[in-house]
Amino acid sequence: MSFDIGIWRSMRPLSSEEAADTYRKICTGLGAVVESDAWVGAFYRNLIAEFPPLEELADEELDSSPWNGSPEVTDAYVIMNIDWSRAGEIEDYVRQLADRHGLLYFDPQAGQVYNSSEMGGEYPFRFQFCDGGRIVDPRPEDLRDLLQRLSSTNWYAWLEHRPGEFIQVGIGENAHAPVGTFALEYREGGPSRHYRQVTNDVDFVVEAFKGFVVGSSDWKNSPLWLRI
């Protein structure tokens, strides 16, 4: 089973429905629905430098590749088929890489489009567990229930708005924190604005996640935050 991603250039922000229609036309070969763009090639070169196509790998390297099949690339788009178990590992990298190149990212599984930030497109909030479970635009009142699902096997979750803007939490030793505590981090863009604290206060963790969603900054006033 694969997790698929479509990347192309759009001269204006697209709705999810428009992006889904374009993606279907690309995949079914219904003509030149997107225009060629030099940034597509630049994106692809950066992508395969990090994750080489299958034909460039030795037999013993194939099992370590995230690809179900090598990416399909033209001068106008890139279509990726990622092994489902590796999706959480690669999709954030791909989405941020697309944004750096001014390209649109479309997730056909969720029907979600991420327009390039230079186009002024809106990014949803996206909550994700390390086991791959995802919720787009979670309601603040649902965050406590979501965070209570963390466990020794599903020990990490993050909530992202735009690339480089996120809050995340891990529990216990897997997160390099004492047993029974939470390693809570948030980042506001660049690496110099990345902070961490360790806490055993689940209510504070929940309020921090809620504050991130609603735009409150009270939770950032804790004296326990340390810059990473």
Provide DSSP, 122-178: PPPPEEEETTS-EEES--GGGHHHHHTT--SSS-EEEEESSTTEEEEEEEGGGGTS-
The token pair at 224 is 């326990």
Q: How many CB atoms are located within 10 Å of the residue 181 CB? A: 17
Q: How far apart are CA 150 and CA 30, in angstroms?
A: 44
pLDDT digits (tens, 9 = 90+) for 67-85: 999 999 999 999 999 999 8
Cβ(164)–Cβ(96) below 8 Å: yes
Task: Please state, rounded to an integer, the average pLDDT across all residues of the chain.
Answer: 89
* Contact residues for 11 (Cβ-Cβ < 8 A; gap 6+): none
Instruction: Give CA torsion, residues 227, 137, 139, 89, to 10 deg.
Output: -50
pLDDT digits (tens, 9 = 90+) for 114-165: 988 766 555 678 888 888 777 877 889 999 999 999 998 899 999 988 767 8
DSSP class of residue 121 equals: P
Q: Is the pLDDT of residue 1 over 60?
A: yes
**Res 178: pLDDT:** 95
CA angle, residues 100, 103, 106, in degrees to nearest 5: 120
Backbone angles phi, psi at 156, to 5 degrees: -145, 140
**Res 160: pLDDT:** 87
The token pair at 36 is 């060629």
**Res 191: pLDDT:** 78
pTM: 0.55
pLDDT digits (tens, 9 = 90+) for 198-214: 999 999 999 999 999 99
